[in-house]
Amino acid sequence: MASTTSTPIDAGNVASLPADAISYSDLYARWERGNWRATELDFTEDARQWREDFTDFERQAAMWNYCLFFWGEDAVANNLSPYIDAAPLEEQKYFLTTQQVDEARHAVFFKRFMQEVVGVGDGSMASGLNAIKPQLTVGFRKIFDRLDTMADELRAERSPAQLAAAVTLYHIVIEAALAQPGQHFICSYLEERDQLPAFREGMANIAADEQRHIGFGVKLLSDLNREDPVGVPKAVARILREVTRYTAQVLMPPGWDETYLTVFNYSFDKVGVEGLTSMTTKLRSAGLAVESLPGPALLPPGLTPLEVSQRGRALAKAGVIGVREGPSDRDPETVAMLFDTVRRQVNPEHGLSRPTTFQWEFTDPDVATWHLTVENGSSFVQQGEAPRADVRLRLSYQDWVDIIGERLDPLRALASGRLRPRGNPLVLARLGKVFPRG
């Protein structure tokens, strides 16, 4: 039976967090005050403007973006029930119930817009969803497939750590890092152009709902972390490492054509920086700052949010991270970026007692040899053969990229002979410590 009161917090041992400034009861009250009706919006003027004021390409670009939201709202509504069951407090369950109502309302809103304005579907939810499915990007599919399996995992295990992983995926990644910047993108150009008044009103209502959901997620994460300060950070780090590799491919229009955004006076960089900043800020507010999470660094150290966003997108376009839809790029700029990323993510607690050099000798004649030297407190990487290499790694370039992108298990590559290491056995034994995986 769920408790109806929060666990007492020892103020002398637990620092106050931004999430402590709000209560679950207040969040519920905000829901009651913010109720709105998706069925009563009048899309008549929106339909006229869609036909007469938008160009063919603007309609194409806008519809592609709106399809991601429509599918996403339906998916999150379907997956909330196990969250409600797993929440330990009644107040948390009540709020999550309101959130499920919100998500269903959002899906109804997008279904109506798609059918009444865009002309997609016959008015049923199933027909609308079936019609837009081809528009979903590979990154979007990966993350929402993971939401489906997360729901199943949460049904099987309701521990604080498992619930924290689920909340991180739903409230922090999907809502704060992906949906919120997308909402800002849509609302900004519709306001600037004074277009689609009913759709704009609905999007503003959705944004207010999502802000409330995100606040709840941050608060719940902070409470779960206090309950299990060892298991929760590990679970949060694990799910973030699993899904953030796909985030650059969520807002990925056909052919990576940025005019799908610039036509509305926006850019990949603006969306990427806002999403990354939103995610890291929310985690810090929950007492789970990205840099404090256990295991390998989630983000390449030493880069600004803009540089992280640009690098993530470049590596995704090159087929290094995320979903690879063909051979990975092997031009010198991509290879240099790949090895600089490896350098930045060397585990500082590698345990090597002296400067140690690792050399990659690719079986591909068109990819140069590279080496990386790890020293106390620093590492440097360089193209070409090292004067003396402690460890030599021989493999194909594509296999190395797939190991980095976590599409190929290095142990499987070793067992099959695709990865052939040679050198100092003591250093070889520490490979997994120097280059850790999540």
- Summarised one tens digit per residue, pLDDT across range 121-166 is 999 999 999 999 999 999 999 999 999 999 999 999 999 999 999 9
If asked whether residues 345 and 247 sit together in one domain, one would say no
Cα–Cα distance for residue pair 201/205, rounded to 1 Å? 6
Q: What amino acid occupies position 101?
A: V
If asked whether residues 166 and 244 sit together in one domain, one would say yes
Residue 438 pLDDT level (bands cut at 50, 70, 90)? low
Q: What amino acid occupies position 152?
A: D
Nearest to 295 by CA among 433, 146, 143, 150: 433
Q: What is the mean pLDDT of residues 172-197?
A: 97
Q: What is the mean pLDDT of residues 35-55?
A: 97
If asked whether residues 214 and 353 sit together in one domain, one would say no
Q: Quick check: pTM over 0.85?
A: yes
Cα–Cα distance for residue pair 134/314, rounded to 1 Å? 24
pLDDT tens by residue, 175-184: 999 999 999 9
In a domain, 180, yes or no: yes
Nearest to 193 by CA among 328, 58, 322: 58
CB 136 within 8 Å of CB 68: yes
CB neighbour class for 396 (10 Å; exposed up to 12, middle 13-18, buried from 19): middle
Number of domains in the chain: 2
pLDDT at position 351 is 82
In a domain, 5, yes or no: no
Q: Mark which of 274, 295, 316 sits at the end of a domain.
A: 295
pLDDT at position 348 is 85
The residue with greater pLDDT, 19 or 2, is 19
CB 346 within 8 Å of CB 435: yes
DSSP three-state, residue 433: helix
What pairs with residue 423 in β-bridges?
A: 391
Residue bearing tokens 């499915």: 133
Alpha helices in 301-378 (DSSP H): 305-317, 332-344
Q: What amino acid occupies position 89?
A: L
- DSSP state, 174? I
If asked whether residues 256 and 363 sit together in one domain, one would say no
Residues 6+ apart with CB under 8 A from 25: 91
In a domain, 300, yes or no: no
pLDDT at position 4 is 35
Residue 269: CB atoms within 10 A of its CB come to 15
Q: What is the mean pLDDT of residues 370-399?
A: 94
CB 332 within 8 Å of CB 367: no
Residue 93: CB atoms within 10 A of its CB come to 16
If asked whether residues 149 and 233 sit together in one domain, one would say yes
CB 221 within 8 Å of CB 288: yes
Alpha helices in 318-396 (DSSP H): 332-344
pLDDT at position 435 is 87
Cα–Cα distance for residue pair 380/203, rounded to 1 Å? 47
In a domain, 155, yes or no: yes
Cα–Cα distance for residue pair 413/221, rounded to 1 Å? 37
pLDDT at position 436 is 85
Q: Mark which of 235, 270, 295 sits at the end of a domain.
A: 295
Range of the domain at 36: 18-295
pLDDT at 61 over 50: yes
Cα–Cα distance for residue pair 350/165, rounded to 1 Å? 27
In a domain, 287, yes or no: yes
Q: What is the mean pLDDT of residues 326-334?
A: 97
CB 405 within 8 Å of CB 322: yes
If asked whether residues 249 and 375 sit together in one domain, one would say no
- State both tokens at 294: 């256990």
Q: What is the mean pLDDT of residues 326-340?
A: 97
What pairs with residue 391 in β-bridges?
A: 358, 423
| String of DSSP letters for 69-121 | HHHHHHHHHHT-HHHHHH-SBHHHHHHHHHHHHHHHHHHHHHHHHIIIII--S
